[in-house]
């Protein structure tokens, strides 16, 4: 099959999958929300009414204002209220979205990379290497990823990069196990034998032949893990070990606002929390639909 | 008791049964106009290839057709009452009591986590208010009838502890618990060893004769039915294409399909190396809407009329019928 | 049967040993080994003295030996912050965590399983559709968000339930339990609901999937062919077959709830072992962390053993295999 035909085949397959995905109204709706969210996050510096990181632009006198209030000098309306430092919640949420998504994407990609490499290597190498890696995977899978990340962060300290690393360590095991399972099936297939016969080095065999054929289930897992990574980051921030307060993620904002719930200032906590919930939910709905298409469960 | 002595009372009468399935690709007309009569104590063999609709016919009679299938048209008379007009509760009361069903695979028919005894006792108490003890005694009796050794032990055993043949005997025992008027057996010996098959066939025939229970034996294997049934009905693409007393059908088939089936059965005494006749082509696509005879594409005798018009039923005497424009002639 | 149990216990012991080695090495690798035993706040001279007295200048394998010895006596050292033995701290908090976990799993089972069964038997009813749709929500939302919403609605706006802490306790078998008082029950509701919601979704989905599979089995059709009443078909035939997968999941989820409800316990300031763990991790109170890990592993392994034994009772096919083994 010539490369152009193969490419065309893949493209139309993607299109077909996309069409089927959008056939469910829920998935289509959720997909739209997700697209808007991503757009909002990307355009945040331009569409946010205020830069929440610029301490100079904050007016402490405007702190803890309820949603819809006007600022002290009448220059802007705080649609979602302000926090205890006078920060506009809407802007904070938009920027927080950026951080949350950033962490989520990086953590998932990182876990995908590490996990896949480990899993493929284990399946490829067989023997005690395989057994060793899988025992570690088993132990890690018995513990919730959040807990593992928590322990790491307690030692590493705060910071966005450290959170990403901690999440990667907490999440790679799931990918590793799936990659290995896939690889174990694929490694005995004829095209792998052919690669060996053609004299390809082990690295090339692994990366260019084994890997592409193991991808589909891994993509499915990536969709699950992404939502979990975002939720995990939020939970960690809630516990105080996540991103620093100066660059708050949605989880951090929610955690911050929690203390104000009791006094009736719900907006500091509710709105960032809702934004978080919407992101996770829409992603899960789309991801669920996608998974159903890939592995039909025989349900309606 | 010879066939002529038996009273010709139709204990089960099916008229114009149509059971269709609504699938995403279209409507599957599994049963598309079936007429059947079963007299008291009679054994009728319903023969057809897979996809012919024979099992669905059995299920339709029992009222066990699930979505996306439903009985679209027809009447099923058990005695005087039309089963299709009954309420679900009335049907439930009839099932197991007047109408019994034996499935193909006994491993899957018996619930693996319940003991044989439990499953037999509940079959008794579902229809009669008796004590557990008495129900158990009845179950024991039934097991003895079907020739199961050490029946008390078997009652406490679990399905996976019994062999395939034993499990099928249990199924038969359950079917006989309430002395039903009709037993529908859906390929009951297909999943069994050939030797066991012979035993079961013998047992069932004996039991039905003893209690004058009518038996509808559904199978794809004409050879099985040849030695067992009083009459045979051949089914193709959802319709009965021929029915006649067994001997007559086998010796003088009228429908080309029947002839094809008979020719395909290896016989003792055939010359070594002699070819079995194969029916050319493959079974029809159940989704297609057809004009004319469904068998026409595979029939060596097909003519223009066959392809354009659906053959009508020719029935020279009760119990004998065929659907063919150009049936095979009776040989002298 | 006794042979089976013994062999499983032996396996459990091996797992515990392996984990203890891992934990020990992990702690060694991550931090200064001295800090495991000694409060890092102590002065240099103090540290040296204690190190020597504790034999920390000895080779690693010897230290591991002492650690194991202590472990066999359930002695993992003293908490840096509280001064009490780590194990004692943990055991003091276990009843609170167990209460919460049991309540949560009870709610989840009593709501989730019937919901799933109903959805399997009548998939077109609006309850079924709504339930399954909401299950995605229940499974996606992070636990702290559920907690926040519950607190906001039921505690702050409605003012009906307390939002933090454990209620009054009453003793039973010498252990204080809070579910025995009204005040205690009021305090349990919100945290238990927070934990239960995702599990309800999980159990409903699982029950529906398993029930649908069972419903299409031939023995279900045969049961109908026998003329059994629907109540018996669903209640006995279907349910008995669902038990094995259900009990497995319920048991495992209970284990997870008991061991890892750290976030919920934190939000509600519930004085359980989970909150103790978080606090200890954040304050680097290593003896407590180590002790917690060992306890949790032992608990989960024993739970698994118990579940395996239960299968034999529930599914006669497995009994046969076990006997043959």
Residues A216/A162, Cβ–Cβ less than 8 Å: no
Partners of C260 on chain A (C-beta within 8 Å) are 143-144, 147
Query: What are the pLDDT tens digits along chain C (325 aa)?
Result: 677 778 777 777 777 777 777 777 766 555 554 555 556 666 777 767 766 665 556 666 776 777 777 777 777 776 766 677 878 888 888 888 999 999 999 999 999 998 888 888 888 788 888 888 788 788 878 888 888 888 888 887 777 788 788 877 888 887 888 878 888 888 889 899 999 999 999 899 888 888 888 888 888 889 988 888 888 888 888 888 888 788 888 998 999 888 888 888 988 888 888 888 888 877 777 778 878 888 888 888 888 888 888 877 777 776 655 555 4
In 3-state terms, chain C is what percent helix, strand and coil (to 5)?
Answer: 75, 0, 20
Residue B115, pLDDT > 60, answer: yes
Q: What whole-number distance in Å separates Cα of residue A215 and Cα of residue B226?
A: 56
Residue C122 in contact with partner chain B when CB distance is under 8 A: no
DSSP letter, residue C157: I
- Number of Cβ within 10 Å of residue B225's Cβ equals 25
Nearest to C281 among A151, A266, A297 (CB): A151
Mean pLDDT of A187-215: 75
Residue % of chain B over a pLDDT of 90: 14
Q: Determine the Cα–Cα distance for residues A124 and A133; give it in Å rounded to an integer.
A: 12
d(CA B294, CA B264): 20
Chain C: partners with 3+ C-beta pairs within 8 Å: A, B
Domains and CATH numbers, chain B: 3-98+181-266+284-323 (3.40.50.300), 107-177 (no CATH)
Give the length of chain C. 325
Nearest-neighbour CA in chain A from C246: distance (Å):
19
Give the predicted TM-score (pTM) of the model: 0.77
pLDDT of residue B305: 83
**Contact indicator for A66, A39 with CB cutoff of 8 Å:** no
When pLDDT is averaged across residues A118-147 and rounded to a whole number, the result is 82
**Mean pLDDT, residues A117-142:** 82
Q: Which has the higher per-residue pLDDT, B57 or B294? A: B57
A206 has a chain C CB within 8 A of its CB: no
The answer to whether the beta carbons of residues B211 and B181 sit under 8 Å apart is no
CA distance A289 to chain C (A): 11
Tell me if A192 sits within 8 A of A209, measured CB to CB: yes
Sign (positive or negative) of CA dihedral C123, C125, C128, C132: positive
Which of C121, C212, C217, C227 best probes binding to B when mutated, by most B CB atoms within 10 angstroms? C227
Q: In whole angstroms, what is the distance from residue B12 CA to residue B183 CA? A: 10
Cβ contact C218–B103 (<8 Å): yes
Burial (Cβ within 10 Å: 0-12, 13-18, ≥19) of residue C213:
middle
Kindly provide the ipTM of the predicted complex, given to two decimals: 0.82
- Buried/exposed code over A11-24 (b: 16+ C-beta within 10 A; e: otherwise): eeeeeeeeeebeeb
The first and second tokens of residue B58, run together, are 């059995």
Q: How far apart are CA A191 and CA A213, in angstroms?
A: 10
Q: Which residue of A has its CA nearest to C16?
A: A139
Give residue B83's pLDDT.
Answer: 86
Q: Which residue of A has its CA nearest to C129?
A: A300
Spatial distance between the Cα atoms of B123 and C222, rounded to a whole number of angstroms: 10
Q: Is A250 on the interface with C (CB under 8 A)?
A: no
Report whether pLDDT(A216) > 60.
yes
Strands (E), chain C: 170-172, 175-177
- Domains in chain A: boundaries: 17-48+87-294
| Residue C219, min C-alpha distance to chain B (Å) | 4
Tell me how far apart the alpha carbons of residues A161 and A113 are, in angstroms, rounded to a whole number: 17
pLDDT at residue C26 in the model: 67
Put the strands of the sheet holding B81-82 in their side by side order: B26-39, B10-23, B69-78, B81-82
Cross-chain residue pair C226–B123, CB shorter than 8 Å: yes
Cα–Cα distances (Å) from C150 to A259, B49, B72, C154, in that order, read 15, 61, 52, 6
- Interchain CB contacts (distance < 8 Å): A and C: 82
B242 torsion bin: left (phi>0), alpha (psi -120 to 50), beta (else): beta
What is the C-alpha to C-alpha distance for residues C319 and B331, in angstroms, rounded to an integer? 63
Q: How far apart are CA A111 and CA A175, in angstroms?
A: 7
Cα Rg of chain A (Å, integer): 23
H helices present in A88-246, as ranges: 89-125, 127-142, 145-156, 160-186, 190-197, 202-204, 211-239
- B261, pLDDT greater than 90: no
Whether residues A150 and C137 touch (CB distance < 8 A) is answered with no
pLDDT grade for B8, boundaries at 50, 70 and 90: very low
Q: What average pLDDT does the segment A1-12 reach?
A: 51
Tokens 């919930």: give the residue: A277
Predicted confidence at residue A299, as pLDDT, reads 37
Average pLDDT over residues A74-101: 82
- When the pLDDT of each residue in chain B is averaged and rounded to a whole number, the result is 84
Q: What is the pLDDT of residues B216-247, one digit of tens each?
A: 999 988 888 888 889 999 998 888 989 999 98
Nearest to B108 by CA among C316, C244, C217, C212: C217
**Domain A17-48+87-294: homologous superfamily in CATH:** MetI-like (1.10.3720.10)
């Amino acid at each position: 099959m010539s490369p152009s035909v193969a490419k065309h085949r893949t493209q139309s397959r993607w299109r077909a999958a996309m069409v089927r995905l959008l056939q469910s109204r829920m998935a289509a709706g959720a997909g739209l929300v997700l697209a808007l969210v991503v757009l909002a996050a990307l355009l945040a510096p331009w569409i946010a009414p205020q830069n929440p990181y610029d301490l100079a632009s904050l007016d402490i006198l405007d702190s803890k204002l309820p949603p819809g209030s006007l600022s002290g000098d009448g220059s802007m309306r705080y649609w979602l209220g302000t926090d205890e430092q006078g920060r506009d919640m809407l802007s904070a949420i938009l920027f927080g979205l950026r951080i949350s998504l950033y962490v989520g994407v990086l953590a998932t990609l990182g876990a995908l990379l590490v996990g896949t490499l480990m899993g493929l290597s284990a399946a490829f190498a067989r023997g005690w290497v395989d057994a060793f890696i899988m025992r570690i995977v088993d132990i890690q899978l018995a513990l919730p990823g959040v807990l593992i990340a928590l322990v790491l962060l307690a030692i590493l300290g705060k910071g966005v990069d450290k959170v990403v690393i901690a999440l990667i360590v907490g999440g790679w095991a799931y990918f590793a196990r799936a990659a290995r399972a896939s690889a174990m099936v694929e490694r005995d297939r004829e095209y792998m034998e052919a690669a060996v016969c053609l004299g390809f080095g082990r690295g090339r065999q692994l990366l260019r032949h084994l890997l592409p054929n193991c991808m589909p289930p891994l993509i499915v897992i990536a969709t699950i893990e992404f939502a979990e990574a975002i939720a995990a980051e939020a939970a960690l921030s809630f516990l105080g070990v996540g991103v620093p307060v100066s660059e708050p993620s949605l989880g951090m904002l929610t955690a911050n606002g929690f203390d104000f719930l009791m006094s009736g200032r719900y907006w500091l906590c509710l709105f960032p929390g809702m934004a978080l919930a919407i992101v996770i939910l829409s992603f899960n709905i789309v991801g669920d639909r996608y998974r159903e298409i890939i592995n039909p469960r025989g349900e309606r | 008791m010879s066939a002529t002595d038996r009273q010709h009372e139709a204990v089960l009468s099916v008229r114009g049964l149509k059971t269709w399935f609504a699938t995403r690709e279209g409507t599957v007309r599994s049963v598309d106009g079936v007429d059947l009569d079963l007299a008291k104590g009679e054994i009728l063999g319903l023969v057809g290839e897979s996809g012919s609709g024979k099992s669905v016919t059995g299920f339709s009679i029992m009222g066990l057709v699930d979505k996306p299938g439903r009985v679209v048209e027809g009447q099923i008379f058990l005695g005087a009452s039309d089963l299709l007009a009954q309420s679900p509760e009335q049907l439930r009361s009839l099932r197991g009591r007047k109408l019994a069903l034996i499935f193909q695979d006994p491993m899957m028919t018996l619930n693996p986590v319940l003991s044989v005894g439990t499953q037999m006792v509940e079959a008794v108490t579902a229809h009669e208010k008796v004590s557990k003890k008495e129900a158990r005694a009845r179950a024991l009796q039934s097991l003895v009838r079907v020739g199961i050794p050490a029946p008390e032990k078997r009652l406490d055993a679990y399905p996976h502890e019994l062999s395939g043949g034993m499990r099928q005997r249990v199924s038969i025992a359950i079917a006989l618990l309430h002395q039903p008027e009709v037993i529908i057996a859906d390929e009951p010996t297909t999943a069994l060893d050939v030797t066991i098959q012979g035993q079961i066939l013998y047992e069932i025939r004996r039991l039905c004769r003893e209690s004058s229970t009518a038996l509808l034996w559904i199978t794809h294997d004409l050879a099985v039915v040849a030695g067992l049934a009083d009459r045979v009905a051949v089914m193709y693409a959802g319709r009965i294409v021929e029915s006649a007393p067994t001997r007559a059908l086998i010796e003088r088939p009228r429908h080309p399909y029947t002839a094809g089936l008979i020719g395909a059965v290896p016989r003792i005494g055939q010359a070594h190396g002699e070819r079995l006749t194969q029916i050319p082509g493959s079974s029809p696509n159940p989704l297609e809407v057809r004009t004319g005879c469904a068998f026409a594409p595979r029939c060596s005798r097909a003519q223009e009329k066959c392809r354009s018009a659906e053959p009508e039923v020719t029935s020279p005497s009760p119990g004998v019928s065929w659907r063919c424009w150009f049936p095979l002639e009776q040989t002298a | 049967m006794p042979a089976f149990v013994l062999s499983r216990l032996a396996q459990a012991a091996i797992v515990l040993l392996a984990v203890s080695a891992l934990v020990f090495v992990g702690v060694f690798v991550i931090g200064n080994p001295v800090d495991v035993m000694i409060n890092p706040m102590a002065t240099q001279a103090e540290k040296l003295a204690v190190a020597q007295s504790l034999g920390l200048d000895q080779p690693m394998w010897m230290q591991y030996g002492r650690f194991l010895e202590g472990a066999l006596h359930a002695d993992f050292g003293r908490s840096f912050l509280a001064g009490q033995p780590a194990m004692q701290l943990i055991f003091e908090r276990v009843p609170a965590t167990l209460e919460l976990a049991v309540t949560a799993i009870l709610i989840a089972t009593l709501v989730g399983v019937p919901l799933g069964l109903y959805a399997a038997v009548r998939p077109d009813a609006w309850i079924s559709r709504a339930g399954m749709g909401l299950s995605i929500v229940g499974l996606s939302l992070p636990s702290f968000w559920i907690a926040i919403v519950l607190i906001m609605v039921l505690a702050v706006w409605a003012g009906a339930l307390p939002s933090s802490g454990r209620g009054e306790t009453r003793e039973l078998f010498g252990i204080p339990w809070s579910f025995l008082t009204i005040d205690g029950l009021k305090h349990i509701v919100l945290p238990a609901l927070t934990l239960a919601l995702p599990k309800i979704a999980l159990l409903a989905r699982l029950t529906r999937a398993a029930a649908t599979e069972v419903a299409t089995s031939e023995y279900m059709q045969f049961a109908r062919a026998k003329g059994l009443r629907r109540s018996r078909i669903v209640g006995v035939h279907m349910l008995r077959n669902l038990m094995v997968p259900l009990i497995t999941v319920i048991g495992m989820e209970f284990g997870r709830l008991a061991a890892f409800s750290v976030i919920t316990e934190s939000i509600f300031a519930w004085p359980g072992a989970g909150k103790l763990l978080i606090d200890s991790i954040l304050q680097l109170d290593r003896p407590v962390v180590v002790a917690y890990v060992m306890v949790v592993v032992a608990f989960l392994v024993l739970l698994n053993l118990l579940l395996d034994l239960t299968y034999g009772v529930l599914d006669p096919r497995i009994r046969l295999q076990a006997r043959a083994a």
